[in-house]
Structure 1
Amino acid sequence: MKIVSPEQIKNFKSFMENHESFIIAGHKEPDGDCISSCIGLSYIADYFKKPYIMINAGPFKRSEIKKYSSMFTDTLPFMNKQERDSCGLIITDCSEIQRLGEIDGDLKGFDTFIIDHHKTADVQGDNTIIDPSSPAACLIVQQLVEAITGQLTKEQAETIFFGMATDTGYFRFLTEDSREVFLQTSRLVDAGANPRIIYQDMTGGKPWSTRKLLGIMLDRAERHAEGKLVVTYETMEDTRRYGSEGRDSDALYSLMLAVEGVEAVAFVRQDTEHTCTLGLRSKDSCDVSLIAAKFGGGGHKNASGASTEGRIETLLPLLIKEFMKVL
């Protein structure tokens, strides 16, 4: 990952100084990195003693982030023209307003600063800090908090460690070029973050229903591309029966990618009669972000997704066809 430059820090600090209030927003269906990045940015707003709201469309499906849901709203309060003109919008862990989901209120027209680490982010300018080599957006936020406010408190360190750990699979997704990640992580531990307790928060408390649903996903799993690709799916009836809370798709990906010869996993969930969510994971050289982009999504080389129109029975063959081109 890259070190945030003095110029980028200066630009962000100026953005904070030049607005009277802030909206801090992350992508819909948030994960730990999204939540931690938003909260990390709130520490900077607190430092400047400026009011802010944290916006997220939800839903907060993952059991490890449920406790943070009360800190966010999906409704933008009414603002007159003067209030809108003096309010800054900070988008983190994504780079497009449409990825924020269904927000009650108009987020267009605000002066906006974007902080992201996704490979598919396609924005630039002084009001952006985008580093696709960073394994988590909150690692970018950590550098901003440290540069602007000084040494992290124990609470701040725990928040950022949680986000970093979730997006790196508790370090499992890191490679030989991750020296700076570990240096930053050491500063979080120095500030009081407890790796063992945070791991328990990440992995514990899963509902029984998620394990039953996982069994169904495993039973449906099929191999393609000479065994290199595993595909499975979740129907609307599955969601009605087992619920959408606390789902544990990470366990599915981890189990399948651990199978000998498997290089990628594709998961399709039917959300409505006409729309689906795609989850794509891989290891080594298979770049699933390129496949996700063909379905209107994006993400990282080895972890991407999309929300797209279609049905399971039509999308699965299309996904398999795309994977066959690269596996």
Structure 2
Amino acid sequence: MENKKNTKAILRKKISYSLIVLVFLLVILFVAPSRGSGAIIFLTAFFGIIYIIVWNIILSRNLSNYMVDYAMASESTQNIFSQDLDLPYALMDKRGIIAWRNRAFNALVQRDRQSKKDIHAMFGSISVSDIEDITDKADFHGEYQGRKYRVRITRLYIEEAYVYTVCLFDETDLMELKERKEGLKPVIGLIYMDNYDEAMESVEEVRRSLLEALIDRKINQYINGFNGIVKKLEKDKFFFVIKKENLDAAIDVRFDILEDVKTVNIGNEMRITLSIGIGYGCENLSRNYELARMAMDMALGRGGDQAVVKTENDIKYFGGKAQTVEKQTRVKARVKAHAFRELLENKDKVIIMGHKILDMDAFGAAIGVWRIATTLNKKAHILLGDVNPSAKPMVEKFKTSEYPEDLFISEDKVLNSITNDSLVVVVDVNRPSITEGPVLLKKAKNIVVFDHHRQSSEIITNATLSYVETFASSACEMVSEIVQYISDDIKLKTLEADAMYAGIVIDTQNFNVQTGVRTFEAAAFLKRCGADVTRVRKMFREDANDYLAKAEAIHNAEIFEDFYAISECDSENTASPTLVCAQAANDLLNIKGIKASFVLTLYNNTIFISARSMDEVNVQTIMEKLGGGGHRSVAGAQLKENSIEDAKVRVKAVLKEMIEKGEI
């Protein structure tokens, strides 16, 4: 337009005219006489001034809208923003106030007065700051009147001011197609019977085939109910394929096949439990199968009786209520022992480490591995950092002339001396972040793991040999079996047998928790090697202040939801608050009706939680929701809450949520 004028200049000129009139009226107001005709002039001037002031205020507030209206009146702008555009289209200011809408937009919001004026009324997820941050264009997603839209907002510079265009793209059909496509993706899964051999031995021989057939039928009906296919690979292993939408349905009912299969009883003393591993999310089917195998390893490593769903970036757990079944056969222990020996024979140095704040079980297991390596003429060291006060007396006994000076070594020295021919052995832990040397794990080429804790989503992935048995009472029990199978030449000294026996005693709470036949067999072996029960018992006698703190924690315990004891332990006068905390949690289980106990203590600006249970509740799954982990009956977590009361609130919230969902 050749004679196009600056809109802002015109508006300013109009405003200046009103200001001139305002000044003129002010002069009249002050010089007009107060009586007769002068009073009329005075009132006229007064109301004229009020009108001009109000008019200017309204004009300043709606200046952006006036400018848009003026711009829309021009021929060139009208061609750009055609009223006949099929897409809902509008103009607004930076506050989200809509100044102009085309017909399609009007048709969309015709029954919604608020949405005609304000974009935030349509899409509450779009804030004023979101609009102000736009420099060119930005896309947002929202839902309006049951339809899903992509909201494209573009910033334009018109007549020396910024205005924002809004264009709505209806993506409802597209999103439904995407969801449908996602739901049709194949999901690969594996089903293993955890205790097939043990269950079959518990039933009469003539009825074993019937028990197997009933279990097979349950599994086949379950997968067929999802319109999937299932194939039996071995006597206790199945492979299946379902669609993603069916997986969502199985997750909604939390894989009820896990509980349903336990109802099969034809006289078998032991109920069958299943482990399910599922992988999905990759376009490559072979990769989904690999994810399923990894998920199955995770399920078995956590004790079985659960389903694990794994993608490339996420992992979810379901079930895990049953007590882990002890394996009577030692074949696996013997195989692992021989594999461990082969690894040792090809290495020149062995570095042994446990978890942070080394406890008695980790230390005893480390000593057992050290003796194995030394007997095979390998240079071995134990990585030593902070030690739990309960284990310090035992550790000090190894700092004598009877043992080499470099038995214990610091992380700095290890990192400078480790080579490709070095072997790192991790005991009593399988989470890299809480080991004594996380950096060492990244640098080491050869890693062996011996642990009895259930695995979480964080595991040592680059282990050359991994031996994780969740039914074992302790790492010392596992290493005791390894010692017996690896060589007949290995002889434990009395002090070493004491350390390993003490580890079993602590982790089993004097053989009361997680104790099986193999636990007593390991203890008997250590007794033959010279372990002294009385000597170990004297070592763990309690300090008077610790005993009083534990008694106070038990006295102040709160019973939550009828079955859960929650308390706190004073850390001011105790040498080892975390140990006293754990002991109090153990003692609270002696109260009738208590299924699980949780004792909290503040230590080094961190709130520690000790969780214990008998056999009805899996405290590991509870602690995992708080960022911790552990064993089915012995677990813990560390929180960075402002106070113990805040931490208690979190524990109660997790318990209530899991109770409502039927997870505990």
Task: Please classify the TM superposition score into its range, dividing by the shorter chain length.
Answer: 0.7 to 0.9
Structure 1 residue identity aligned to 2:501: F
Deviates more, 1:129-138 or 1:300-309: 300-309
**Equivalent residue in structure 2 for 1:108, among 442, 456, 459:** 442
Deviation of 1:79 after TM superposition, in Å, equals: 4.9
**Equivalent residue in structure 1 for 2:474, among 114, 123, 136:** 136
Question: What is aligned with 1:304?
Answer: 635
Deviation of 1:147 after TM superposition, in Å, equals: 1.6
Asked whether the equivalents of residues 628 and 638 of structure 2 are also in contact (C-alpha less than 8 Å), the reply is yes
| Per-residue CA distance 1:93-141 (angstroms, 9 max, x = gap) | 001221125x597442212111101012555765111100111111111
Matched, 1:153 2:492: yes
CA 1:267–1:66: 2 relative to 1, 3 Å: same
Deviation of 1:269 after TM superposition, in Å, equals: 2.1
**Equivalent residue in structure 2 for 1:39, among 358, 364, 367:** 367
Structure 1 residue identity aligned to 2:576: S
Question: What is aligned with 2:431?
Answer: 96
Question: What is aligned with 1:260?
Answer: 592
Structure 1 CA distance, aligned partners of 2:361 and 2:455? 17
SS at match of 2:648: helix
**Equivalent residue in structure 1 for 2:512, among 158, 162, 172:** 172
Structure 1 CA distance, aligned partners of 2:353 and 2:409? 10
**Equivalent residue in structure 2 for 1:196, among 517, 534, 537:** 534
Structure 1 residue identity aligned to 2:505: A
Deviation of 1:291 after TM superposition, in Å, equals: 0.8
Asked whether the equivalents of residues 22 and 52 of structure 1 are also in contact (C-alpha less than 8 Å), the reply is yes
Question: What is aligned with 1:185?
Answer: 523
Structure 1 residue identity aligned to 2:378: K
Structure 1 segments unaligned to the other structure (5+ residues): none
| Per-residue CA distance 1:196-222 (angstroms, 9 max, x = gap) | 3323333x2x22221232244234321
Deviation of 1:233 after TM superposition, in Å, equals: 2.0
CA 1:211–1:181: 2 relative to 1, 3 Å: closer
Structure 2 CA distance, aligned partners of 1:295 and 1:316? 11
Number of equivalenced pairs: 315
Structure 2 CA distance, aligned partners of 1:279 and 1:246? 8
**Equivalent residue in structure 2 for 1:286, among 597, 601, 617:** 617
Structure 1 CA distance, aligned partners of 2:386 and 2:637? 16
CA 1:295–1:56: 2 relative to 1, 3 Å: farther
SS at match of 2:412: coil
Structure 1 CA distance, aligned partners of 2:623 and 2:440? 27
Matched, 1:77 2:413: yes
| Per-residue CA distance 1:285-325 (angstroms, 9 max, x = gap) | 10000011112221111110122332323221121122233
Asked whether the equivalents of residues 222 and 232 of structure 1 are also in contact (C-alpha less than 8 Å), the reply is yes
- From the CA coordinates, give the structure whose radius of gyration is larger: 2
Q: Which structure 2 residues correspond to residues 242-257 of structure 1 after superposition, within 5 A?
A: 242-244=574-576, 247-257=579-589
Asked whether the equivalents of residues 289 and 299 of structure 1 are also in contact (C-alpha less than 8 Å), the reply is yes
SS at match of 2:616: coil
Structure 1 CA distance, aligned partners of 2:414 and 2:535? 40
CA 1:254–1:105: 2 relative to 1, 3 Å: closer
Structure 2 CA distance, aligned partners of 1:210 and 1:179? 33
Larger RCO: Structure 1 or Structure 2 (Cα < 8 Å, ≥ 6 residues apart)? 1
TM-score (ref. length: structure 2):
0.44
Structure 1 residue identity aligned to 2:434: R
Structure 1 residue identity aligned to 2:534: R
Deviation of 1:264 after TM superposition, in Å, equals: 1.1
